[in-house]
Amino acid sequence: MANLIIIGAQWGDEGKGKIVDLLAEQVNCVVRFQGGNNAGHTIVVDGRKFILHLIPSGILHPGKMCLIGNGVVVDPAVLVEEMDGLLRGGLPVSPQNLMISRHAHLIMPYHQALDLARESKKGKAKIGTTGRGIGPCYEDRAGRTGIRVHDLFDESLFRQKLAQNLEEKNFMLQQFFGAEPLALEPIADQYLALGQRLQPFAGNVSQYLDRIMGTGRHVLFEGAQGTHLDIDHGTYPFVTSSNTVAGHACCGAGVGPTRIDAVLGVIKAYTTRVGGGPFTTELQDSTGEYIQERGGEFGATTGRPRRCGWLDMMVVRSSVRLNGLAGLIMTKLDVLTGIPALKVAVAYECDGDRPETMPNELRSLEACGPIYEEFPGWEEDIRGVRRFADLPGNAQNYLRAVEEMAGVPLAIVSVGPGRDENIILQHPFADR
């Protein structure tokens, strides 16, 4: 048995979807445990591109059970649209391969309206939210006024909760933000119809996982976003609204921590970030543009261009500590091909000091500058490489240096977007 967590070790967009898709072949079920449809996983299979927002990447493999845990906030319209898109692509989606926790909270239209109104009001001080209603939904969850999946199956209770929430939300939208109010009936009609579609998929994810783990089968926990977008441990307030670190996998799926065997962190060979917030190694020059264009660094959910910069080992080492990483998986090594000299931030200088770890207070981090170590690049095309020894010498040196600075080994190196474009150094399930 092996129960593994795959987590993003930077600011999200590290390529977790491809890695989960790769590893899903070895497991019985894949679990998504936090976040919402502000995340997007892009996976290329046989030249076909799939973009998933809520459904775990394992859905692309026949015979795998995909679970959406209680820690996820679900926009039911987006979920149904995603299901229909997969069905149109010839991929089966049924209660036999997809289960949604009855206790997951629903993103409502008023969450989206509030999200957009707040960002608009902040002007230049905006955080860079996707406007999908994620934050306001988590607020209602914490405030105990949220509507959950199972509420869709009780019409009178759903209408009661919706009416109570709309009274408050419309007051805020009109009186504080100067926005238009929302009507109850169109929302009720839409969501109750969506509830009829989703009811066969709703279940007790925690109980299902307990049964699967009890029979010794493999489970893969799929995180969304990245460690440094964590609501507690990230670059607050430029973070997401959920806990993205590995420890939350247990809360967001309903399993005990003793059931987890290992945690692996996914990093890019460089660093990207979407939206606002400090980014110590950001490149605002032709090299940054080269990485952005060659790496296709545009959001799978929003299409927004990602900010690009050199690999930051202060970020990676903090993620190793916060998640208890047993190893790293590096994606997009091929994107660095053709850059004559590569830089890696090995430390920070902050007002004359060199902190031991990445500061997590905003002003302290903004005051930091990177201390770089330089590595020679390579010109050879590496997308066809499948063994470490066949990589150019400079690429090998780059990877060895990352391992040494991170303090944990590399398990997999991705050298292209395709499912088979990987170098397996140590298969995560080999000894489990």
Q: Are 330 and 269 in contact (CB under 8 A)?
A: yes
Q: Give the tokens for residue 306.
A: 């990602």
pLDDT, the chain, mean: 93
Question: Residue 252, exposed/middle/buried by CB under 10 A (0-12, 13-18, 19+)?
Answer: buried
Residue 275's pLDDT band (boundaries 50, 70, 90)?
Answer: confident
For residue 428, the model assigns a pLDDT of 85
Q: Is the pLDDT of residue 412 over 80?
A: yes
Q: Which of 17, 38, 79 is nearest to 304 (CA)?
A: 38
Q: Which of 363, 359, 336 is nearest to 347 (CA)?
A: 359
Question: Residue 15, exposed/middle/buried by CB under 10 A (0-12, 13-18, 19+)?
Answer: buried
Q: Are 51 and 300 in contact (CB under 8 A)?
A: yes
- Mean pLDDT value of segment 279-292: 96
pLDDT in tens, 135-164: 999 999 999 999 999 999 999 999 999 999
pLDDT in tens, 238-273: 999 999 999 999 999 999 999 999 999 999 999 999
Q: Are 57 and 98 in contact (CB under 8 A)?
A: no
DSSP 124: G
For residue 57, the model assigns a pLDDT of 82
Rounded to whole angstroms, how far apart are CA atoms 160 and 91?
A: 37
Chain-centroid distance of CA 197 in Å reads: 26
Residue 43's pLDDT band (boundaries 50, 70, 90)?
Answer: confident
Q: Is the pLDDT of residue 432 over 60?
A: no
Cβ within 8 Å of residue 158, ≥6 positions away: 147, 151, 152, 188, 191, 192, 195
Q: Is the pLDDT of residue 295 over 90?
A: yes
Catalytic residues: 13, 41
Q: Looking at per-residue confidence, does 360 or 83 come out higher?
A: 83
Least confident window among 78-87, 122-131, 277-286: 122-131
Q: Tell me if residue 377 falls in helix, strand or coil.
A: coil
Q: Give the tokens for residue 325.
A: 């990483």
Q: Is the pLDDT of residue 48 over 80?
A: no
* Ordered structural domains, the chain, with CATH: 3-93+204-424 (3.90.170.10), 105-200 (1.10.300.10)
For residue 300, the model assigns a pLDDT of 63
Dihedral sign from CA coordinates of 41, 335, 25, 219 = negative
Residue recorded with tokens 């996998």: 249
pTM surpassing 0.75?
Answer: yes
For residue 128, the model assigns a pLDDT of 62
Q: Which of 430, 393, 432, 392 is nearest to 412 (CA)?
A: 430
Q: Which of 10, 44, 53 is nearest to 417 (CA)?
A: 44
